[in-house]
Chain A
């Protein structure tokens, strides 16, 4: 036990073993001990061996043997930087794929066809949604507090009375609901995503396009600067159904849109005042833009003075 040779594991084969060539394949088996875990590792490497016959033109072969470097190429040390294997893999790309993105605008016919397609797709989706809503809403109503919910006119007619009166009643209900309790707002907040880090060029329409695939959107609000009407880089997207909102949240979290990475979070319940926070900061601070404007004016005055002098 004390002898150092005993410390070696006797079960470890001393050398890697290479099998003879069989069906053009050769297997090499080697053993080693992982330095971290101390576990015995067996590595089996199968190598395919084949002979490749490459025919070379006699003239070419003779020339390649004859030719020696000359001119600038004879300096060996220079060779290193002259011939370089490109690091990027370059493929033959299909130009027609590219064109579908940019080409639409160029070719009016194609653009029209594209628009038409989009139109039909929208129509179909609307129909499906209508179906979905007709089937889906009552189920939700069963879930609780059905009275406060908006009921589509088609449903109402079945519920009671004439269509018009039903509609009005529902309207009244809705007004009551929105005025009376904050519950309605809370519901909406629960389905609302606050999306930040949007690029300035993004419009509400773009956002609608981006989010519409996840489900029916009830509202898209893009925060804009009051004076410049430029996007402030965040928006609220309200979905009709919470599940859709959740899906959108999962899918688009960290999504690269317009060179920026979107950040999504649930809109904080703001006590009935949607996103009034932005407005309050504007009024309350008194610095920020107001200050900037003032200084601007002053500067212009000053410059006037100097020019007059």
Chain B
């Protein structure tokens, strides 16, 4: 395959994702301009201008009409996807790390970092899209303060169980489920020992995969929060996604951005790794980036994927027919491996 290079961003890429239909690709970077691309041609369709700081997270609603962006300028903005106009700005007290639409696009949640004397916060906003944005309450419906003494930061937020629970990952390797009405912790697991960078769900929201700095990615069952599989690598994992039509996992990572310049380029480990979902074996590697991969996204049709890296490039890969037709190899029996 000959990937398409998207060079619109001036700084390292923080987030890449497709919309639900798979025709648009949204990217966020540490420059202030979230961008939308055509997922088929790689053409730049538009940029959402208005943020003053790095953009950490993007979420597009299911019908691709409204886009939410979370920025380090302590705001979360809602945009009209097709025109690029700003619909509303939601002010926060600290940098906004993550944002997520609720099912049905009538509410959304954000997570913000501690800043000055403001503590880390999870906020839920109501935004009935059929009403005038002016009438929306600028204050959140619910605010969950994260305890200051632990000094944990939330890294991802997702609505689960038809908006009944809020799924939040933390930089101490834990995941908590919050009640969206009273903000109580419903459940908590600690899959990782270090920061969970990203979490991504399969299309049906039955499985999720966490990627962590502790060099592993773990696959969990959503309902039981049960650990299913672990994918081990030799590098911090920044993002992992589940293929929608194959039993494959794509892993992206690389060394810490800080240590890139101090180690040899050969050992960069900036590839996208392909793992088999069930056998946990690595069967493929795609090279190309010259910085650690920060974000990965696979098209909902499973025929292309995008990776964004610290080097500021987004590479849009369209799988060869060979990969699409590939039958998964069954690994050797474990007895052979023992020898």
- Using a CB–CB cutoff of 8 Å, the interface residues on chain A facing chain B are 57, 59-60, 63-64, 66-67, 69-74, 79, 81-96, 98, 113
Are the CB atoms of A81 and B47 closer together than 8 Å? no
Are the CB atoms of B2 and A85 closer together than 8 Å? yes
Residues of B near A96 (CB, < 8 A) are 282-283
Are the CB atoms of B284 and A94 closer together than 8 Å? yes
Given contacts A57-B23, A72-B49, A82 and B44 within 8 Å (CB-CB): yes
Contact among B43, B64, B317 with A59 in the assembled complex (CB-CB below 8 Å) = B64
B25 CB to nearest A CB, Å: 11
Are the CB atoms of A83 and B44 closer together than 8 Å? yes
CA–CA, A69 and B43, complex, Å: 10
Contact among A72, A83, A88 with B4 in the assembled complex (CB-CB below 8 Å) = A83
User: Which residue of chain A has the shortest Cβ distance to B49 in the bound complex?
Assistant: A71
Are the CB atoms of A92 and B285 closer together than 8 Å? yes
Are the CB atoms of A90 and B284 closer together than 8 Å? no
Are the CB atoms of A95 and B282 closer together than 8 Å? yes
Are the CB atoms of B8 and A60 closer together than 8 Å? no
CA–CA, A79 and B37, complex, Å: 12
Are the CB atoms of B23 and A60 closer together than 8 Å? yes
Given contacts A60-B23, A79-B43, A94-B284, A72 and B33 within 8 Å (CB-CB): yes
* CB contact list, B289-317 vs A, under 8 A: 315, 317
Are the CB atoms of B2 and A83 closer together than 8 Å? no
- Using a CB–CB cutoff of 8 Å, the interface residues on chain B facing chain A are 1-8, 21-24, 33, 35, 37-38, 41-49, 63-64, 82-84, 273-274, 282-288, 315, 317, 320, 323, 339
CA–CA, A60 and B317, complex, Å: 20
Are the CB atoms of B44 and A72 closer together than 8 Å? yes
Given contacts A64-B23, A79-B44, A92-B274, A70 and B84 within 8 Å (CB-CB): yes
Given contacts A60-B23, A70-B47, A82-B8, A90 and B82 within 8 Å (CB-CB): no
CA–CA, A168 and B237, complex, Å: 70
B62 CB to nearest A CB, Å: 10
Are the CB atoms of A91 and B1 closer together than 8 Å? yes
Are the CB atoms of B283 and A73 closer together than 8 Å? no
Are the CB atoms of A63 and B23 closer together than 8 Å? yes
Residues of A near B46 (CB, < 8 A) are 67, 69-74
CA–CA, A39 and B60, complex, Å: 64
A201 CB to nearest B CB, Å: 17
CA–CA, A67 and B38, complex, Å: 11
| Number of A-B residue pairs at CB separation under 8 A | 113
B217 CB to nearest A CB, Å: 16
A297 CB to nearest B CB, Å: 38
CA–CA, A94 and B287, complex, Å: 11
Contact among A57, A60, A70 with B83 in the assembled complex (CB-CB below 8 Å) = A70
Are the CB atoms of A66 and B82 closer together than 8 Å? yes
Are the CB atoms of B82 and A71 closer together than 8 Å? no
Contact among B4, B22, B43, B323 with A92 in the assembled complex (CB-CB below 8 Å) = B323
Residues of B near A67 (CB, < 8 A) are 45-46, 82
User: Which residue of chain B has the shortest Cβ distance to A74 in the bound complex?
Assistant: B46
CA–CA, A145 and B288, complex, Å: 64
Are the CB atoms of B286 and A83 closer together than 8 Å? no
Please list 20 pairs of residues, one from A and one from B, whose beta carbons are closer than 8 Å in the complex, sorted by A's number.
A59-B21, A60-B22, A63-B64, A63-B82, A67-B46, A67-B82, A69-B44, A69-B46, A73-B46, A83-B5, A83-B6, A85-B42, A88-B2, A89-B1, A90-B287, A90-B317, A91-B1, A91-B320, A93-B284, A95-B284
B325 CB to nearest A CB, Å: 13
B29 CB to nearest A CB, Å: 12
Given contacts A59-B21, A66-B82, A84-B5, could you give 4 more A-B pairs where the C-beta distance is less than 8 Å?
A: A71-B46, A73-B35, A73-B45, A82-B6
Given contacts A92-B274, A95-B273, A86 and B288 within 8 Å (CB-CB): yes
User: Which residue of chain A has the shortest Cβ distance to B284 in the bound complex?
Assistant: A92
CA–CA, A63 and B65, complex, Å: 10
Residues of A near B288 (CB, < 8 A) are 86, 88, 90
Are the CB atoms of B42 and A83 closer together than 8 Å? yes
Are the CB atoms of A95 and B283 closer together than 8 Å? yes
A105 CB to nearest B CB, Å: 14
User: Which residue of chain A has the shortest Cβ distance to B4 in the bound complex?
Assistant: A85
Are the CB atoms of A86 and B5 closer together than 8 Å? yes
CA–CA, A67 and B273, complex, Å: 34
Residues of A near B315 (CB, < 8 A) are 86
